[in-house]
Structure 1
């Protein structure tokens, strides 16, 4: 498979994946024009659209793409997503003929109530649930829901490519270092991301193994995160309370 994170809007990535014959699917096209440009540049043909949730920066380009390409649109059951042809839910399998690919649908509420992800072929298209060294804000879900969603991701194969939807990694690393400063994996990731961004390259995708080693939201069971939560005045926090403390701190972090 050939893949490219297509930059869109201010900091979004739209994932475009194709086979050797140029058959391509797209994930969360918040804009149509960058997708069309990427298809034309590579002489790829759009065959399907996969959507993770209803936010406009993930679905804003769907109408124009469907009008031109007449493709299937896979999406969760949510009335706020107007252009969809196939409703998918937790446990379903999305099977594409061209490119030949199969993805398991995972319900991952937290960022939104109906958020889903697609896992398969070595990829995790996680929308705004998981970011590199971060996770999504809790707009509609609870800390319990988001932690359970992240736990599901952590159980995927460690070599899985985490294809998140925003270029937030450098900012996420600054927060992560404030809570887990002695994490060598995190510091190595920090150096790597600084180099990539200096070269004008995306910081994603990352490998799931890297995220499990360096992303504080996937490390709520670690001694380092437990010590940080204790330092915030929570001596006997549950793992959900540790996650919630991290998310609250990230919401107001400004450094």
Structure 2
């Protein structure tokens, strides 16, 4: 299966972000959170053997809702996907909480229900809904789902998100998308949402040569012996 995963909203530049912001009440900025979350979703889908394209709006280049609509629908339309997903966080006066997901029709609602069931193991499950007026559910080329993982202006919801971590959060979404549990873990992510320190590698230099022809001869010998070799000029 081929999936398109994008982050709702955009950073317009000069400190202007079009998303909801719950930081003033102990929550989190919707766009900033999902910008970190989305790559993990893509990694989990790939881990499960699927294709996945990540799309985040170029920062400082979009400046209105119409810009966002045209950009995301344009990028999604370039793909030949089985499902297109846009990540959001809800917001409502700091008192509401829980997860929900929207789709255009019953076919999309089935996927939305699976995602809500997974996210509902952490946040209150508000359930899937059909919303035909949203540009994302209405204009995409592929079947589409819009996910509201939790309320970004809910301190309690955000505390659950922090405790869960980006990697585990993304896994729930990916499992809901494909309708199956995914075994194992991603190789470069941690449950705290950080990236693991890359494994230390040690490089062996065979020699240094004044003439490039001599260096080329050594590279050829090494490759014939089954070793990778390149020439670097210093």
Report the TM-score range of the alignment, normalised by the length of the smaller protein: under 0.3
Q: TM-score, normalised by structure 1?
A: 0.25
**Larger Rg: 1 or 2?**
2
Looking at secondary structure, tell me which structure has more strand per residue: 1
Identify which of structures 1 and 2 has the higher relative contact order when contacts are C-alpha pairs closer than 8 Å and 6+ apart: 2
Q: TM-score, normalised by structure 2?
A: 0.27
